Amino acid sequence: MSDSRAPEVRDLGQVTFHTEGPLGIVTLNRPQVLNAQGYELLAQVDQAFDLAQADQAIRVVIVRGAGGVFSAGHDLSPGQQRAGDPLERYDEFKKYNLDLLLKWRDFPKPTIAMVDGYCIYAGWMLAAVMDLVFASDQAQFLGGFVEYNSIPWDLGFRKAKEICFESRFMTAAECQAAGFVSRVFPVHDLERETRAFARRVAENHPFTLRMTKLQINKAQDAQGFRSLLEDSLGDYIAMMFMPGFSTIAEDKKRLRAVDLAVRGRRGERYGQDGTQRET
C-alpha cells in the first residue's frame, strides 16, 4: 500500500471528494443549510462513491459534513422530485431513499460516518448505511420512522420504539450505549482519531476486508433486514400520501416529529419544566 501520491480534491458541486493516501473522504458541502439532503446532493454522494470504488488505492471511505454539522436531514424545499409521471416519481423516490442507500451499505470497501453536530433523519439514514459511526461528544442524533427504516437494527427494537414514540434527540454517548455509534471522541480529536483508525483498517488486505464485510452484511440480511427495508418503504409512502395527514408541521419547514424534538431541546414539552401542558 503506497501513501506517496499527492492528495486530490474533486468538487462535485454540493459534495467534495478527496483522496488522502488510502482514504477517500466524501464531504457534504452545503453548510449554509446544515447539509440538508436533496436529490442533487445524493446523486453527487453516489458519484463520489463510484470514484472511490474505481480507485484501487482507496481502501476506506469516510463520510463527513462541512461546517461542523453532519446533516440536518431532508431538504424539504419545493421541487425536490422532478419526475411527473407517477411511475417515474415512484422510481425516483425509491432510488434516492432506498436503492442508493443499500448500494452504499453494500459498498465493497469499509466505510465510516464521521459525525459532528446534527445528524437528523436523512442524516441518520446516511450514517446508518456506513459500516461504522464515529462521533464527537457534541453530536446530536435524531432518528425516527424514515424511508430507510433501519432504526430497529440500529438501536434494538425497544429502544427504537422509545425514541420514535417520544421524538427526541440522543447524545453520542447514548447512541454508543445502544450500539449505533462505534466510538465517541472530544470534538477536537474526532478528525484525527477517525483518520488514524481508518489508516489502521487500510493496513489489512483489501480482500480480507471485503469478505469480512460481505459475511457480516449477509448475517444481517438473514435476519430479514433487507426485506424489512423494502416493506417499510411502502408503509412510509402510504403515510406520506394518506388524506388528511401531513408529515410536515403546520406553518413550519420541518417534519412534525423533528419539530417535537426541537421543542424538547428547548424544554417546551410536557413535564420538562415541572409543569403540565396540554398537547
Q: Supply the CATH number for residue 169's domain.
A: 3.90.226.10
Instruction: Give the CA count within 13 Å in the CB-facing half-sphere of 258.
Output: 22
Burial class of residue 23 (count of CB atoms within 10 Å of its CB; 0-12, 13-18, 19+): buried
Has residue 1 been placed in a domain?
A: no
**Helix (H) / strand (E) containing 10:** strand 8-11
Has residue 130 been placed in a domain?
A: yes
Has residue 268 been placed in a domain?
A: no
Has residue 150 been placed in a domain?
A: yes
Has residue 246 been placed in a domain?
A: no
> How many CB atoms within 10 Å of residue 53?
14
What range does the domain containing 34 cover?
8-240
- Give CA–CA dist 63/125, Å, rounded: 12
Say which residues have a Cβ less than 8 Å from residue 232's Cβ, sequence separation at least 6.
149
> What is the pTM assigned to this prediction?
0.94
CA-nearest of 157, 150, 116 to 131 is: 150
Has residue 146 been placed in a domain?
A: yes
The single-letter code of the amino acid at 86 is: P
CA-nearest of 30, 57, 198, 217 to 114 is: 198
Do the Cβ atoms of 240 and 232 come closer than 8 Å?
no
Do the Cβ atoms of 112 and 194 come closer than 8 Å?
yes
Per-residue pLDDT of the chain (279 residues; tens, 9 = 90+): 556 678 899 999 999 999 999 999 999 999 999 999 999 999 999 999 999 999 999 999 999 999 999 999 999 887 666 667 889 999 999 999 999 999 999 999 999 999 999 999 999 999 999 999 999 999 999 999 999 999 999 999 999 999 999 999 999 999 999 999 999 999 999 999 999 999 999 999 999 999 999 999 999 999 999 999 999 999 999 998 899 898 888 776 789 999 999 999 999 999 986 555 555
Has residue 185 been placed in a domain?
A: yes
| Structural domain count, the chain | 1
Has residue 206 been placed in a domain?
A: yes
